[in-house]
Amino acid sequence: MRYSIPDAAKIQPSGEVRIPARAVLLEGALQFPPEAQGIVVFAHGSGSSRFSPRNQSVARSLRSKGFGTLLFDLLTRQEEALDQRTAHLRFDIGLLAERLMDATRWLLDTTDLGGPAIGYFGASTGAGAALMAAAELGESIGAVVSRGGRPDLAATALPRVKSPTLLIVGALDEAVIRLNEQALALLSTEKRLEIVPGASHLFEEPGTLTEVARLAGAWFERYLSISSAHSRPAPPTP
């Protein structure tokens, strides 16, 4: 069974939403005021959900800068229950990327977004899914930000990513730094690796998540807009 896309008139600018993704419905929360300059779609990490406190914190910061946000579950409740026992779906990057693309198409079908006005914020394995989806959707995705991510999980797709990509890693997360450095070398788009001093993988140390939000906000402010995808400015200086 494939769910039909709801009429755009039924989609509220803010509130709980159910997103059709092939034969399932995914639960999410959309905050999209009319004056928003773009919308950031969050792809949570392994074993997490749309209620991730770290993603929720970054989302609040982005909304304060004028962006809309969509946080949604990449898995259904039944799939999450299965994944808690087997831990295999959280690493199915192809499935997660497909879900993210379905959510993006739903946004485009139910809003008046145009140009590169959609960005992705991926955490952990969600970053791999975000980059794989961005490679498939091309210039529809204005920018990608990864927090403590596993972009290496999208290795075969990385050379095809056109969206400007920011990789953020904690300085104490040495293994993930190496994986991000390898992924950075495979990206051929505008790109940057930012290492946050004193931060571990989950950015639990005081002030580190605030720095993630600042870096992400600056990246999205530069690259997300409803203007032409072919008129991007130069990347910001460190």
Look up residue 115 and give its DSSP letter.
S
Q: Which of 109, 14, 112 is nearest to 68 (CA)?
A: 14
Domains observed in the chain: 10-223 (3.40.50.1820)
Contact 135, 161 (CB under 8 A): yes
> What is the pLDDT at residue 135?
97
Q: Which of 103, 116, 111, 47 is nearest to 72 (CA)?
A: 103
Order of all β-strands in the sheet with 14-21: 14-21, 24-31, 68-72, 39-43, 118-123, 141-147, 165-170, 191-196
Q: What is the CA radius of gyration of the chain?
A: 16
Q: Which residue has the tokens 């505008």?
A: 190
Q: Which of 128, 110, 98 is nearest to 70 (CA)?
A: 110
Helices (H), the chain: 53-64, 77-86, 93-110, 125-137, 174-186, 208-223
Q: Which of 201, 207, 194 is nearest to 174 (CA)?
A: 201
Q: How far apart are CA 173 and CA 161, in angstroms?
A: 25
Mean per-residue pLDDT pooled into runs of 10, the chain (238 residues): 34 76 90 85 79 89 94 84 65 89 90 76 94 95 96 95 98 97 97 98 96 97 63 40
pTM for the full predicted model: 0.86
> What is the pLDDT at residue 74?
87
